[in-house]
């Protein structure tokens, strides 16, 4: 009897609790699917930022009505431990549920890019990356060898070791990540080229292939002629002739080169002067692209031993020195 009376007395309270709980649960699920209006503005999540801070900023910008739903959802799902830093551009009317998933997976981040150009030196590459927008420049002030040490190759000269391409990244990524990606891609491309090399070529290692490719890249970016340029170099190496290529001289002059190569420059001995020294240069002189790598290991069959620029990136190829001198008179001296 007492139990029945007690049940009747508590029934309204129980019903009220159940109703209130249903309202809370309904509100919670409704809030998860409520669209949020970010407009065209981006939203940046800083590295190490907490979900509470994110929710507070969303509320300050009147994007989020209250912070509790997003906090509860994140805590229940474990997403509060998975938030990824970056700059986000969320779609129109994204829901709280989808917003949390996007933050946890790094989706909807603004994609940025930086280009590394074929024929650049490593110095030019570093200067360009230093100017790239919204990259965390952790390598600023590092020496070239410190960069290589971080890549696990402290004794490797950096020139030529990074593949020229367009690299995509997200706000807050480190510049080191670009170096890592470009370095690994160059090793893949170089390995692929070396595996598919022609038999009987004069270069004997993949590093020599990289050196030769870097010279070809600087000689011409007129792609149809690169295998023939490579064929000339192969012929000269086979005959024990000096390569005598101007870009190697220019590289050896470094910052002292003012844009005008002279006979004095050609006679000034440096480790990179192929007018004064035989064989390849000690290191690459530029960042070669795929066509140059392929040309270096697959030289065209040619009887030419000389070439001279005749404009628009193209060359006149000659079999003998006499023919070459006539070509120099025509295309360089304009006689």
Residues 181 and 272 in one domain: no
Can you spell out the DSSP letters for 107-161?
A: TTBPEEEEE--TT--HHHHHHHHHH-TT-B-TTTT--HHHHHHHTT-TTS--TT-
Give the total number of structural domains in the chain: 3
Give me the CATH number covering residue 69.
3.30.1490
pLDDT-derived band of residue 20, with 50, 70 and 90 as boundaries? very low
Dihedral sign, Cα of residue 268, residue 271, residue 277, residue 283? negative
Q: Is residue 286 part of a domain?
A: yes
Answer yes or no: is pLDDT of 34 > 80: no
Is the pLDDT at 19 greater than 60? The verdict is no
Alpha-carbon distances, residue 26 vs 19, 73, 180 (angstroms) = 10, 14, 49
Verify that 203 and 309 share a domain, yes or no. Answer: yes
Q: Are residues 185 and 253 in the same domain?
A: no
**Residue 141 to residues 130, 204, 216, Cα–Cα distance (Å):** 10, 36, 31
Instruction: Give me the pLDDT at residue 86, please.
Output: 84
For CA atoms 286, 291, 295, 300, give the dihedral sign.
negative
Mark residue 298 as left, alpha or beta (left: phi above 0; alpha: psi -120 to 50; beta: remaining).
Answer: beta
Is 5 part of a structural domain of the chain?
Answer: no
Residues 6+ apart with CB under 8 A from 56: 67
**Burial (CB count within 10 angstroms: exposed 0-12, middle 13-18, buried 19+), residue 139:** buried
21 lies in some domain = no
Q: Which of 105, 123, 158 is the last residue of a domain?
A: 105
**How far, in Å, CA of 272 to CA of 141, rounded?**
27
User: According to the model, what pLDDT value does residue 71 have?
Assistant: 76
206 and 298 fall within a common domain:
yes
- The whole-number pLDDT of residue 164 equals 97
Say what the pLDDT of residue 17 is: 53
pLDDT, one tens digit per residue, over 111-129 is 889 999 999 999 999 999 9
DSSP label of 197: P
173 and 203 belong to one structural domain: no
Q: Is the pLDDT of residue 24 over 60?
A: no
On whether both 142 and 252 belong to a single domain, the answer is: no
| Residues 203 and 327 occupy one common structural domain | yes
Higher pLDDT, 32 or 246: 246
Is 8 a member of any domain?
no
Residue 116 lies in a domain: yes
Can you give the pLDDT at residue 30?
A: 45
Is 13 inside any structural domain?
no
**Is 1 part of a structural domain of the chain?**
no
The residue with tokens 């829901």 is 95
Are residue 116 and residue 96 in the same domain, yes or no? Answer: no
Render pLDDT for 73-114 as a digit per residue (tens, 0 to 9): 777 777 777 888 888 888 888 888 888 888 888 888 888 899
Q: 48 and 153 in one domain?
A: no
169 and 57 in a common domain: no
pLDDT grade, residue 27 (50/70/90)? very low
Q: Which among 80, 105, 130 is the end of a domain?
A: 105
The per-residue pLDDT for 11 is 52
DSSP structure string for 314-332: EEEEESSHHHHHHHHHHHT
Q: Which residue has the higher pLDDT, 69 or 10?
A: 69
How many CA atoms does the CB half-sphere of 78 hold within 13 Å? 0
Domain boundary among 170, 189, 208: 189
* The pLDDT of residue 53 is above 70: yes
156 part of a folded domain: yes
- The answer on 182 and 290 residing in a single domain is no
Domain assignment of residue 183, given as a range: 111-189
pLDDT in tens, 257-312: 888 888 899 999 999 999 999 999 999 999 999 999 999 999 999 999 999 988 87
Q: Is the domain of 210 the same as that of 278? A: yes
């Amino acid at each position: 009897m007492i139990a029945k009376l007690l049940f009747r007395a508590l029934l309204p309270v129980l019903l009220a609790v159940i109703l209130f709980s249903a309202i809370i649960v309904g509100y919670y699920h409704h809030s998860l699917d409520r669209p949020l209006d970010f407009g065209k503005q981006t939203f940046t999540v800083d590295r190490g930022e907490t979900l509470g801070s994110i929710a507070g900023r969303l509320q300050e910008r009147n994007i989020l009505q209250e912070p509790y739903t997003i906090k509860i959802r994140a805590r229940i799902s474990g997403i509060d431990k998975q938030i990824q830093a970056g700059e986000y551009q969320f779609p129109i009317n994204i829901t709280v549920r989808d917003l949390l998933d996007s933050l946890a997976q790094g989706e909807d981040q603004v994609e940025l890019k930086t280009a590394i150009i074929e024929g650049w030196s490593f110095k030019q590459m570093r200067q360009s990356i230093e100017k790239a927008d919204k990259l965390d420049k952790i390598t600023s002030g590092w020496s070239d060898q410190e960069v290589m040490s971080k890549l696990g190759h402290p004794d490797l000269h950096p020139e030529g070791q990074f593949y020229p391409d367009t690299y995509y990244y997200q706000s807050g990524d480190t510049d080191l990540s670009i170096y890592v990606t470009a370095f690994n891609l160059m090793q893949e491309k170089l390995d692929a080229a070396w595996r598919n090399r022609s038999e009987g070529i004069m270069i004997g290692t993949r590093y020599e292939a990289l050196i030769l490719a870097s010279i070809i890249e600087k000689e011409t970016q007129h792609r149809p002629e690169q295998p023939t340029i490579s064929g000339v170099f192969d012929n000269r190496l086979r005959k024990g002739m000096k390569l005598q290529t101007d870009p190697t001289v220019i590289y050896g002059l470094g910052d002292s080169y003012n844009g005008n190569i002279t006979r004095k420059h050609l006679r000034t001995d440096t480790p990179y002067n192929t007018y004064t020294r035989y064989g390849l240069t000690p290191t690459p002189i530029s960042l070669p692209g795929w066509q140059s790598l392929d040309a270096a290991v697959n030289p065209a069959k040619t009887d030419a031993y000389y070439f001279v620029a005749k404009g628009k990136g193209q060359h006149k190829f000659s079999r003998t020195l006499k023919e070459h001198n006539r070509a120099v008179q025509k295309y360089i001296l304009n006689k």
